Chain A
Amino acid sequence: MSSVNLRTTSSFSLKPESRLDVMIRTFRLSAWLGWQIESNWADPFLFAIYSLIKPLAGAAILVVMYSVITRGDFDSPIFPYIYLGNAFYMYVGQVMTGISWAVIDDREHYKTLRYVYVSPIHYPTYLLGRGVARFLIASISVVVTILFGILFLRLQIDLAAVNWGLLLIALIVGVNMLAMMGLILASVMLLLVHHMWGIGDAVASALYLFSGAIFPLEVLPDFLRPIGYIMPLTYWLELMRRAMVGEVAMAFPTLAGYSNGQLMGILIGMTVAFALLSGVIFRFCERRAKERGLFDIVTNY
C-alpha cells in the first residue's frame, strides 16, 4: 500500500462560499447527474428513438379516441384545445414527477440519499436540478408532438401568428410553477416509506382531470369546478394555448373574461405562493424526516 498526502499535494484551500454560490454549484451538478441518469440507460440511438416514439404513441392514443368520438372532426376548435393541452401537459408529468422521483431514486435505488444530503449542498436546489433533464426531455416530446400534429393531423397552427413572446414567458413561469409543485411533492416523499412509487403519477393524473388539459372546466360538475380555478395549471395551460392558437382558446368560456395580462398575473402570483409554500413544506418535512430517521431508510417496499 502506497501512501498519499491529500492535503499537501493539493495546492488549494476551500474558499467560503456564499449561499448563492452553493445553490449554483448544486444546481449545475444535479442537472448534470439528472441528465446522465435519464440519457445513459440506453445507447444514444435508442434513446433518440425512444424520445420520439414515446410522445407520439401517447398523442396517437388521444387522437384515435378523439377521432372515434367525433367521427374524424379535426376542424373543430376542440381538437387543438385537446391536442395542445395534452402536449403541454407532458411538462407536468416530467417536471413535477421527475423532481419528486429523485428522492425515491436516491433513497431506494441508488442508496445515495444519505451521502448527498450530508454533503454541503443546498438540497432543495439539488432536487430542482434533478428535474432539468426531465424538462429537456419533455421539451423534445412537446415539440415532436406539436410538429406531428401540424404535419399529419391537420392541427391548425399558423406559426407566423404564434405569440412567441407570450409562449416563452408563460413557459418559463409555468415550468417554475411546476418545479415548485414538484418540490412540494418531493418534500412529502421524504416522509413516505410505503406506497410512494405511484404517488407522483397519481397526483399528475388527478391534476389532468381538473386543470382543463383535455376538456374545458365547464364539463366538470359545478362542485368540482372550483378545484380547477384554484390550480395554477389551469391558467398556465390557457396561456400556452392562447400563445399558440389565440382564437381557439377564446372559443371556450372558462377563462374568456380574463386578458393575457390578467392570466399572467394570476399565474405569477400563484407561482410565488407555491414557491413560498414549498419552502415551508420542505423545511417541515425535512425536520420530520430527520426526527423519524427517514433519510437513509431503504424499505424495498
Chain B
Amino acid sequence: MNFAIVTDNLGRVYKIRGGKKTEPRELVALQDVQLQVKQGELFGLLGPNGAGKTTLIKILTTLLAPTMGQATVAGYDVVRQAEKVRPRINMVSGGESSGYGLLTVRENLWMFAQFYGIPSAVANWRIRELLKIVGMSDRINTKSSDLSTGLRQKMNIVRGFLTDPEVLFLDEPTLGLDVGASRDVRLFIREWVNQDPRRTLLLTTHYMVEADELCDRVAIINQGRVLACDTPESLKNRLQKEVLFRMQVSPLDSTQADTFESLPGVRKVTHRAFDGYAVLELILEQDDALGSVVNLMTTQNIHILNLQKREPTLEDVFVDLVGRSMEEVEKSGYSEGNQ
C-alpha cells in the first residue's frame, strides 16, 4: 500500500507571547495526530473553525514546523526533505483573494506554472482548459485586481490544479463561493481525483455535506485531536443503532434543553435557537425514550411544532464524539487551535 501522507504523533504548540503584565502561554493546535492517507484517495479533514485543520495543512505543505512527531508527504519528510516535497504538492486556501493584482489572470497563473517548471505551451493550454471549467474563459486577460472575491478564489483554485500535483491540499476550497460555483468545484475535485490513481487530495472543510459527498475517508478533528477516521458511511453506521429525531419546538433556552439529556434513553441533545422557535436534535438509544422527552416538554409548557425521524449524518457523528454541534463549538470558541 502506497501512502501519500503519513503523520506520526504529529503535534504543534504555539507559544503566545504575553503582554507586559501577562505570562506567555501555550496553545495546543495539534496533538498526537496519526493519519495515513492512501495514494489516490480523496481525504477530508472535518472540524469546526479553529480545530487545527489549517495548522495540519501548513505543516504538511512545509510552511510550518511541527513541535512534535513527524510527517511525510509523497514519501518525503516535510521538515528534513522539504525541497523534495514541494515539486510534488500544491495548495489552495479558500476564502481569500491572494494574487498579484497588477497581473492578468493568465499572467498570474502562467507565472506560478513557471515556478513549477512547466513549459509555457503546456501551461497556457492548461490555463485555458481550467478557466473554461470554472467559467472564467472571458476573464483570462482581466487584471486580477479587477476580479470579484469569488472570481479571485476561482483563479486560485485553478492555480492549485494547474501544476497537476501528486498531492493537492485544499483548505476550505468552497468557502465564500456561491452555491452553484461550490457545486461545480466539488464536481471537478471528484473528477480530478478519479482521473488518475496517482493523484491524492486532502481537503479541509467544516461543511458536513461537502465531506459526506466528496470524501473517500474523513477524519473528524476537534481541539487539535483526530477523534475518528473512516469512510463517511462507516462513521454514520456507528450511530445506526441509535434513533435520531429532529424536533421543532416553541422557544426554550439551552438550560431547559440540557434537562432532556438527563432522561433515561437520551444520549445527546443539541439545541439551536431561531426567531420564534427552536430546533432540538435528539440522539436516543431507543424509540421509547421519545415518550419521556415529550412528557417533560408538556410539563414545561413547550409546544412541539414539528417532529421528524431521520438518518444519521456526519453532524450527528460529530455531536456524538464531541458532545456539541459544530456550530455550538464555533460559537463558544471552545475549540482553540488555529492561528
Q: Chain A: residues with CB nearer than 8 A to chain B?
A: 1-7, 9-12, 14, 17, 25-26, 29, 32-33, 36-37, 40-41, 110-112, 114-121, 287, 290-291, 293, 295-297
The smallest beta-carbon distance between B167 and chain A, in angstroms, is: 12
The answer to whether A120 and B102 touch across the interface, beta carbons within 8 angstroms, is no
Q: Decide if B64 is an interface residue (CB 8 Å cutoff).
A: yes
- Which residues in A have their C-beta under 8 angstroms from that of B103? 33, 36, 40
Q: Are B86 and A1 in contact (CB under 8 A)?
A: no
Q: How far is the CA of A143 from the CA of B132 in the complex (A)?
A: 47
Q: Is the CB of B63 within 8 A of A10?
A: no
A110 close to B114 (CB less than 8 A): no
Query: Which of A33, A291, A295 has a CB less than 8 Å from the CB of B100?
Result: A33
Would A6 and B126 be within 8 Å (CB), given that A36-B100, A118-B91, A120-B117 are in contact?
Answer: yes
Interface size class for chain B? 35 or more
Q: Known contacts A10-B126, A36-B102: does B112 contact A115 (CB below 8 Å)?
A: yes
Please report B residues at the A interface, Cβ cutoff 8 Å: 14, 58, 61-65, 83, 86-87, 89-91, 93, 96-103, 107, 111-112, 114-119, 122, 125-126, 129-130, 132-133, 159, 161-162, 164, 184, 187-188, 191-192, 195-196, 339
Whether A118 and B62, one on each chain, are in contact in the complex, defined by CB atoms closer than 8 angstroms, is: yes
CB distance from A266 to the nearest CB of B (A): 36
User: What residue of chain B has the Cβ atom nearest to residue A297's Cβ?
Assistant: B339
10 interchain residue pairs of minimum CB distance: A111-B98, A119-B115, A120-B87, A6-B164, A40-B102, A290-B65, A120-B86, A4-B129, A291-B65, A10-B122
The binding surface of chain A is classed by DSSP as loop
Complex contact A117–B96 (CB within 8 A): no
Chain A nearest CB: distance from B171 CB in Å? 10
> Are A7 and B196 in contact, with the CB atoms below 8 A?
yes
> Contacts A25-B114, A118-B63, A120-B116 given: A4-B98 contact, CB under 8 Å?
no
Q: Which residues of chain B are within 8 angstroms of A29 by Cβ–Cβ distance?
A: 111, 114-115
What's the minimum C-beta distance from A262 to chain B, rounded to whole angstroms?
41
Contacts of A26 in B (CB 8 A): 115
> Contact between B188 and A1 (Cβ–Cβ < 8 Å)?
yes
Verify A6–B14 contact, CB threshold 8 A: no
Q: A3-B191, A110-B99, A118-B63 are in contact. List 17 more A-B contacts (CB 8 A).
A: A1-B187, A6-B126, A6-B164, A9-B125, A10-B125, A33-B103, A33-B111, A36-B102, A41-B102, A110-B98, A111-B96, A115-B159, A118-B90, A120-B87, A120-B115, A290-B65, A291-B65
How far, in Å, is A119 (CB) from chain B's closest CB? 4
Contact B116 A119 (CB under 8 A): yes
Q: Which of B87, B93, B99, B159 has the most CB of A within 10 A?
A: B87
A residues within 8 A CB of B132?
2
Give B144's nearest chain A residue, CB to CB: A110
Whether B339 lies near A115 (C-beta < 8 A) is no
Residue pair B63, A37 in contact (C-beta under 8 Å): no
A241 to chain B, nearest CB (A): 37
How distant is the Cα of A143 from the Cα of B64 in the complex, in angstroms? 45
Residues of B within 8 A of A114 (CB): 61, 63, 91, 93
Known contacts A1-B133, A9-B125, A120-B83; A295/B63 CB under 8 A: yes
A12 engages B161 (CB within 8 Å):
no
CB nearest neighbor in B for A38: B102
User: Which B residues touch A293, using CB under 8 A?
Assistant: 14, 58, 63-64, 339
